[in-house]
Chains A and B, each alone.
Chain A
Amino acid sequence: MLFNNKIKFKNWAGFFRPFFIATVLLLVISCAPEEKSELRYDYFKGKTNIKYAKGFKVAYFPSYKIVDVFDEAENEKPFQRYLLVEHGTNIPDHNKNDIIVRIPLTSLSCLSTTHVPFLNALKQIEKISGIGNPELVLDSVLLNQIDKEWTLGITSSGQADFEKILESNTSVLMASPFEKSSIEGLSEFDIPVVYVAEYLERTALGRAEWIKFFALFFNREKEANNIFSNIEKRYIDAKTKIDSVSISGGKTVFFGSYYQDVWFSPAGGTLIADLIGDAGGNYIFNTDKSNKNLTIDTEVIMTKIPEIGFWGQIITTKEKPTIGNFMANDSRLLDISNKAKTSFFFANSKQSDYFGQANLEPDVLLKDLANIFHPGLFMNHQFTYFQPLK
């Protein structure tokens, strides 16, 4: 009997052995990374979609994201395609010009300080290992990191310094497309360059939406979606209020600056023209829907001044600006503007983070302008970026 039982046991063991082996095999396969798991496991729980920004697109796959960056909104062909591949997963098939970036990033360097507020909003400041033009940084946390040399300066005389970039031990370098010529050589060092074209957006909301672009590199889409929807709500609320008091054909607004005998002014298809329009202003070059910087002769400016109600400019100075600064200290223009009773407004990038934090506060820019064009419209609003010349 005992013998029989033993035989039975042996038979049972033989019976279960294939199941046991199969179970172990399954466990091993399921624990092994790469191919099979990523077919069914979606690494990206939080996803985003783009509503206003025209400069980038994203497509999601279980273990990677395809991100296209455009240097012109009308272009169908991307300026650069990126494959953001989750760490520990296989790199998918791709074209030789595509750039592979492993995400989430553990470190990054930025050539432009304008990227800092986006990273700050996503709580990724501590990952910045290198920053261009550190003397322009306003963020206190980043300043502290620079002070302690956790974040290194990566430019010399304003130009990308390859030695410093290498020393910063960065995973990627973020730069603007117009910097391409000075950083092309970096490809030799296996440091991917991520081009950020937020400055080419034609609407303030489009520019703010680039927070979603930065979020893609840290798998922080959920946070970016929340931040952006708050920005969007505040902007739309402000615009609705402005629309309720604005009348079409209001005072004409000029925006531009003077350099070496020529006046430069953004065309009607640019972000500032759009912002002025949303704030209830009638932008002077609205008919030209391009996003160019127009060059205008002084004679043309002279003939335009009488119809200009508001004259705006971005300035970079520690001094208090005067009307002369706006009019290139040209007495002929000053006389005409005195007679026309032109009002002046400005944003001073030395006193406010116009080129940085303002990117994430389009609603504040809008309220600033609206209170200049319609004084007292937002009663409790303090001028932050744009302000009238007093």
Chain B
Amino acid sequence: MKNRIIFGLIVLGLAVLFIVGIGLGSVYIPFSTVVDYLFGNPIPETHYSIISKIRMPRNITALISGAGLSLSGLLLQTLFRNPLAGPSVLGISSGSSLGVAIVLLAGGSMSGVIGTGSVVLGAILGALAVVLIISAISMKFEDVTLVLIAGMMLGFLSSSMVSVLAFFSNSERLKPFIHWGFGSFGRLNEYQIPSLLLLLILAIIAALLLYKPLNALLPGEQFAGSIGIDVKKVRIIIIVITGVITGLITAFVGPIGFIGLVVPQVVKILFKTNHHSVTIPGSLLLGAFIALACDIISRVPGQDFSLPLNAVTAMFGAPVVLFVLFRSRFKRNLS
């Protein structure tokens, strides 16, 4: 019952934020116009274009990205049995960035089917490569700290390779890459969103189908194996899902930090359970909510400037990570 109330509140919050997201932007649009738009009443053409072609796609991209990154973080935390695992911490986002950097700094662009396709492919391959390496390390060594450090080092390595590529690149090619690196939910148009949404839905279905093996993985792989779970197969599926989700979202919106790491933590605290039948929908909904909230904050309502999205997610995420760390240490001290 309590869980239902929390789910209901998150959904209600999402609806409110969605309307706020449509109403706020750098151009003032009266609330009555937003209401007219939502009810299909005629509104001025410029306002219609701004809402339907800029704010709606941006809001939907934020929802999809937040949900996708949170799901990816949750799966990684289960796979590595580590609350601090996430696409940005394990270097997966950096791997995607390296893939994108290779494409963009070699003269590629985000325009057209071939351009967008090559950037997406670069991002997915970069993400998958890092997840595979991390996975291999985690199979070889049980030590969770070692896996985390290895992930961070892979992240640094990818970032340094990006820096070297950027240094040797000319300013014309560097600018699109730097622009991409700030992260933004406002880059996808109404034609690109359906493909991103479709892939996310496929990933969600796959994750939901996996919730029983995922629950079995929580106590450890040995336990999962003892009750007949094909651990190797589940591991590969998780790697592919997280690599594709992270790579795809990173390609379109840029490297967004903290959401994938923080949201599953908050969900576990809110719902007081690790059970995936709760944490998967919880992470999807709360991820969408937090991404939308961060996007609205980054637009700095009423001001003539906007903040980089990554800065806002970090401002929100870092205190939560510290809270989780101190909380777990505090509990350990008590016991």
**8 Å CB contact of B110 from A159, A166, A178, A184:** A184
**Contact between B187 and A166, CB atoms less than 8 A apart:** no
List B contacts of A71 (CB < 8 A). 172
A162 CB contact (under 8 Å) in B54, B175, B180: B54
Chain A positions within 8 Å of B187 at CB level: 185
Taking the closest CB of chain A, its distance from the CB of B106, in whole angstroms, is 14
**Which residues 238-280 of B have a CB within 8 angstroms of A?**
none
Q: Which residues of A in the span 146-196 have a Cβ within 8 Å of any Cβ on B? A: 153, 156-157, 159, 161-164, 166-167, 169, 177-182, 184-185, 188-189
| Contact, CB under 8 Å: A178 / B172 | yes
Per CB-CB distance, the 8 closest pairs between chain A and chain B, nearest first, are A181-B176, A163-B27, A157-B305, A167-B27, A163-B26, A184-B111, A156-B306, A163-B50
Q: Which of A272-312 contact B (CB under 8 A)?
A: 292-293
**28 residue pairs bridging A and B, Cβ less than 8 Å apart:** A153-B304, A156-B305, A157-B305, A157-B307, A159-B179, A159-B306, A161-B26, A162-B54, A162-B186, A163-B27, A163-B54, A164-B27, A166-B49, A166-B50, A167-B27, A178-B171, A178-B172, A181-B175, A181-B176, A181-B179, A182-B175, A182-B176, A184-B109, A184-B110, A188-B53, A188-B190, A189-B49, A292-B170
- Look across to chain B and name the residue whose beta carbon is closest to the beta carbon of A185: B189
Query: Taking the nearest CB of chain A, how far is it from the CB of B273, in angstroms?
Result: 41
- Give the complex CA separation of A164 and B299 in angstroms: 13
Tell me how far the C-beta of B211 lies from the nearest C-beta in chain A, rounded to whole angstroms.
38
Chain B 99-110 near chain A by CB (<8 Å), digits 1 or 0: 000000000011
CA distance A177 to B175 in the complex (A): 11
Known: A166-B50, A178-B171. Contact between A188 and B305, CB under 8 A? Answer: no
Q: Which residues of B contact A163 (CB under 8 A)?
A: 25-27, 50, 54
Q: Which residues of A contact B170 (CB under 8 A)?
A: 292
- Residues of A near B226 (CB, < 8 A) are none
Number of chain A residues whose Cβ lies closer than 8 Å to a Cβ of chain B: 24
In the complex, what distance in Å separates the CA atom of A167 from the CA atom of B171?
30
Residue among A157, A167, A177 making CB contact with B46, cutoff 8 Å: A167
Determine the distance from Cα of A181 to Cα of B306 in the docked complex, in whole angstroms.
Answer: 18
Known A156-B306, A164-B26, A166-B27; contact A181-B110, beta-carbon cutoff 8 A: yes
Residues of chain A lying within 8 A (CB to CB) of residue B189 = 185, 188
Assembly CA distance A278 to B35 (angstroms): 64
User: Which residues of B in the span 145-198 have a Cβ within 8 Å of any Cβ on A?
Assistant: 170-172, 175-176, 179-180, 186-187, 189-190
Q: Note all chain A residues with C-beta closer than 8 A to B27.
A: 163-164, 166-167
How many of chain B's residues have a CB under 8 angstroms from any CB in A? 26
When C-beta atoms are compared, the residue in chain B nearest to A169 turns out to be B46
CB neighbours (8 Å) of B54 from chain A are: 162-163, 166
Bound together, the chains give a CA A163 to CA B187 distance in angstroms of 13
**Which chain A residues lie closer than 8 Å to B307 at the CB level?**
157
Which residues from B are CB-within-8-Å of A292?
170
Q: Are B179 and A178 in contact (CB under 8 A)?
A: no
Rounded to whole Å, the gap between the CB of A149 and the closest CB of chain B is 12
**Complex: A24 Cα to B27 Cα, angstroms:** 53
Given contacts A157-B305, A159-B179, A161-B26, contact A180 B109 (CB under 8 A): yes
B139 to chain A, nearest CB (A): 40
Shortest distance between the CB of A259 and any CB in chain B (Å): 12
Q: Check if A178 sits within 8 Å of B25, measured CB to CB.
A: no
Name which residue of chain A comes closest to B167, CB basis: A295
Closest CB in chain A relative to B304 CB, distance in Å: 6
Among the listed B46, B50, B304, which residue makes an inter-chain contact with A156, where contact means beta carbons less than 8 Å apart? B304
- 17 other contacts beyond A156-B306, A181-B176, A188-B190, with CB at 8 A cut-off? A156-B26, A156-B305, A157-B305, A157-B306, A159-B306, A164-B26, A166-B46, A166-B49, A179-B175, A180-B109, A180-B176, A181-B109, A181-B179, A182-B176, A184-B111, A185-B189, A188-B53
Contact flag A177-B172 (CB < 8 Å), given A156-B306, A167-B46: yes
Give complex CA distance A69, B186 in Å: 28
Least Cβ–Cβ distance between A195 and chain B, in angstroms: 12
Residues in chain A near residue B46, CB distance under 8 A: 166-167, 169
Residues of B within 8 A of A178 (CB): 171-172, 175
A303-341 to B contact mask, C-beta < 8 Å, 1/0: 000000000000000000000000000000000000000
List, in ascending order, chain A residues with CB within 8 A of B305's CB. Answer: 156-157
Task: List the B side residues contacting A182 at CB < 8 Å.
Answer: 175-176, 179
A10 CB to closest chain B CB (Å) equals: 59
Chain B residues, Cβ within 8 Å of A164: 26-27
B128-153 vs A: 1/0 string, CB under 8 Å? 00000000000000000000000000
Q: Tell me the complex Cα distance, A185–B190, Å.
A: 11
What residues of A have a CB within 8 angstroms of the CB of B179 in the complex?
Answer: 159, 181-182
Closest to A72 in B: B172
A162 to chain B: closest residue by CB = B54
Closest to A292 in B: B170
Find out whether the CB atom of B171 lies under 8 angstroms from the CB atom of A293. yes
Q: Output the residue of A179, A181, A188, A293 with the most chain B CB within 10 A.
A: A181
CB distance from B189 to the nearest CB of A (A): 6
Nearest Cβ on chain A to B33's Cβ, whole angstroms: 13
- Expressed in whole angstroms, the Cα–Cα distance for A244 and B115 within the complex equals 54
Residues of B within 8 A of A159 (CB): 179, 306
Which residues 20-65 in B have Cβ within 8 Å of A in the complex? 25-27, 46, 49-50, 53-54
Docked pose: A293 CA to B169 CA in angstroms: 11
Cα separation A110 to B8 with both chains bound (whole Å): 47
- Per-residue CB contact flags for chain A residues 245-276 toward chain B (1 = under 8 Å, else 0) read 00000000000000000000000000000000
Give, as a whole number of angstroms, the nearest-CB distance from B309 to chain A.
Answer: 12
Complex contacts, B110 vs chain A, CB 8 Å: 181, 184
Q: How far is the CB of B8 from chain A (nearest CB, A)?
A: 33
Cα-based distance from A351 to B168 in the complex (angstroms): 33
B186: chain A residues at CB < 8 Å are 162
Determine the distance from Cα of A185 to Cα of B110 in the docked complex, in whole angstroms. 10
Assembled-state Cα–Cα distance A177/B173 (Å): 11
A153 to chain B, nearest CB (A): 7
